[in-house]
Amino acid sequence: MIDLILMNNSGISENEISLFVDKNRLQTNSKAGALYYDNEILKLFDGFYLRIETGKGNRLKLECSLHKYFNHVRNNRLTNFDIFSISNSKNTIELLTQRTGIELNNMLVTYYEIGLNLYLTKDCINYIDKMQTIGILENKKPLYVNPKYKNERLKTTVFHRDIKKVHKVYDKVFEMKDKKRTDEPPEHPNILRIETTQRRIEKTTVSDLLKPQTINKIIDQFLKDWRTVQFDRIIEAPKGTHQRKIDLINSIIKNGCDLVLSQARESLKTGNLTEKRFRDIREFIQNDWQTFKESIKIKKTTEEKEFREVLEKTLNIAKN
């Protein structure tokens, strides 16, 4: 569950610096005259990134994918495509403490990622394509295709630096192949990875984060968020209904009448919508929709049903 984590601490003593540098084989570097130590060259072998900055504060930073480090210790493979539980996260913190010689429980957490791998029956693109938003009411957020990611196999909410909470969904196996990894799981070709990241966390130590009450809140919120993913729905309208009207109905169901009408007005102003088409939309929303919606059926896709079922089952395994 808790995967990538960023931690830091300041006020490291000179004796501690010497101990950590020796134990973790850190290289000596300098930037603009300031001395620092890190394991940039060896981090793939170590399974974590450690940096100590000297000078005012003597600051220590540690970044690690707990999931990958757990597998690194077990089988020397930096992978995170299997199921990783809360117990595994806690155990990995202990392993990392022993390995680095740093008391991680006292370090401040500035960023963490909650991740879950869902083993599905179809190619992940079938699920990703149909996912449109996450959240409800004023907290509803669009899921955008990340153009930096090949073949539109990743969607994310806005990840501007001012935003503390970000949701992401992507094709895990495709990601590994795209990175030329040779250890992708042949027995699970369709792994949908869902993640929630928390940034700029204030006054939370690793010990605080791993308290049972905190973990329970994190898991509950993760489930609440990902339960609200809105998929495209199957619209069954009366025979003879034009596809354009079905598309409009779909938009109304996803976004609500007010937003659809507002967007239509903007499109009219910019010339992307004709006056006639705007009147048709307005008349349908204001005069026909309340009656017409009684004649349609809205059904969940098989992808949505499977996603929700597998989400519940997998989370029940991983939360322990």
Give the span between the Cα atoms of 241 and 243, in whole angstroms. Answer: 6
Token duo for residue 32: 């603009």
* Residue 147 confidence (pLDDT): 87
Assign 193 to helix, strand or coil. strand
Token duo for residue 167: 């949701």
* Residue 187 confidence (pLDDT): 76
- pTM of the prediction? 0.90
Q: Residue for token digits 């795209």? A: 178
* Residue 202 confidence (pLDDT): 86
Query: Domain limits of the chain?
Result: 107-232+301-320, 234-299
Give the span between the Cα atoms of 260 and 165, in whole angstroms. Answer: 27
Per-residue pLDDT of the chain (320 residues; tens, 9 = 90+): 999 999 999 999 999 999 999 999 999 999 888 899 999 999 999 999 999 999 888 999 999 999 999 999 999 999 999 999 999 999 999 999 999 999 999 999 999 999 999 999 999 999 999 999 999 888 899 999 998 888 899 999 999 888 999 999 999 999 988 888 877 676 788 999 999 999 989 889 999 999 999 999 999 999 999 999 999 999 999 999 999 999 999 999 888 899 999 999 999 999 999 999 999 999 999 999 999 999 999 999 999 999 999 999 999 999 98
Partners of 264 in the β-ladder: none
Question: Which of 230, 226, 153 lies closest to 191, judged by CA?
Answer: 153
26 — phi, psi (to 5°)? -75, 145
b (16+ CB within 10 A) / e for 32-69: eeeebbbbeebeeebbbbbbbbeeeebbbbbbbbbbbb
